[in-house]
């Protein structure tokens, strides 16, 4: 499952490829990927990417007009970049294609259980619903870290992986 280090690397690559470019299409190969109904897919089309960020293990593309694309890769979700717009989405593992003028971001999941999710969000206030509230491991000081992992009665591993206590750490890095 992609966790904080993996998501950080994805964000760096996504920022280089998408920042300032308009999202021209979202092609869904799986109807189960999209988990939100408002805003509609057609409402985010045509908006440029203004930034990227991480919320826990989620990847967020900030778009113009206070719109956001939130993707959770779950266990087996991965991104691939194709240097042509409208690139084919792989038949068995492809979930979606996000088309830009200079290429396509392909979301795929190499698992029989399709768990990855896509949420389209309007407004920064609504984006907060995707934040479980845990302390940011790259920003918290020692006292804050100690307070986070001792806030509830857990084993150390469970405290490290509880997204309400620490954000972005999962089984692989705990």
3-class SS of residue 154: coil
State how far the Cα of 103 lies from the Cα of 87, in Å rounded to an integer.
Answer: 8
Predicted structure pTM score: 0.94
Sign of the Cα pseudo-torsion (34, 37, 38, 39, in order): positive
The domains found in the chain, sorted by start residue, are 4-130 (3.20.190.10), 132-174 (no CATH)
- In this prediction, residue 53 carries a pLDDT of 97
For the stretch 59-112, pLDDT in tens is 999 999 999 999 999 999 999 999 999 999 999 999 999 999 999 999 999 888
State how far the Cα of 11 lies from the Cα of 17, in Å rounded to an integer.
Answer: 10
DSSP state of 156: H
């Amino acid at each position: 499952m992609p966790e904080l280090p993996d998501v950080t690397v994805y964000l760096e690559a996504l920022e280089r490829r998408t920042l300032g470019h308009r999202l021209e299409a979202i092609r869904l190969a799986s109807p189960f990927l999209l988990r939100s109904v408002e805003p509609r897919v057609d409402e985010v089309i045509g908006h440029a990417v203004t930034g990227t960020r991480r919320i826990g293990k989620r990847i967020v593309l900030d778009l113009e007009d206070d719109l956001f694309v939130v993707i959770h890769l779950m266990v087996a979700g991965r991104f691939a970049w194709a240097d042509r717009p409208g690139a084919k989405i792989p038949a068995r593992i492809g979930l979606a294609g996000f088309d830009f003028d200079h290429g396509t971001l392909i979301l795929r999941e190499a698992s029989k259980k399709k768990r990855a999710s896509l949420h389209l969000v309007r407004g920064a206030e609504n984006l907060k619903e995707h934040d479980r509230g845990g302390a940011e491991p790259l920003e918290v000081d020692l006292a804050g870290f100690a307070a986070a992992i001792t806030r509830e009665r857990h084993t150390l591993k469970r405290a490290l992986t509880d997204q309400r206590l620490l954000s972005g750490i999962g089984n692989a890095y705990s």
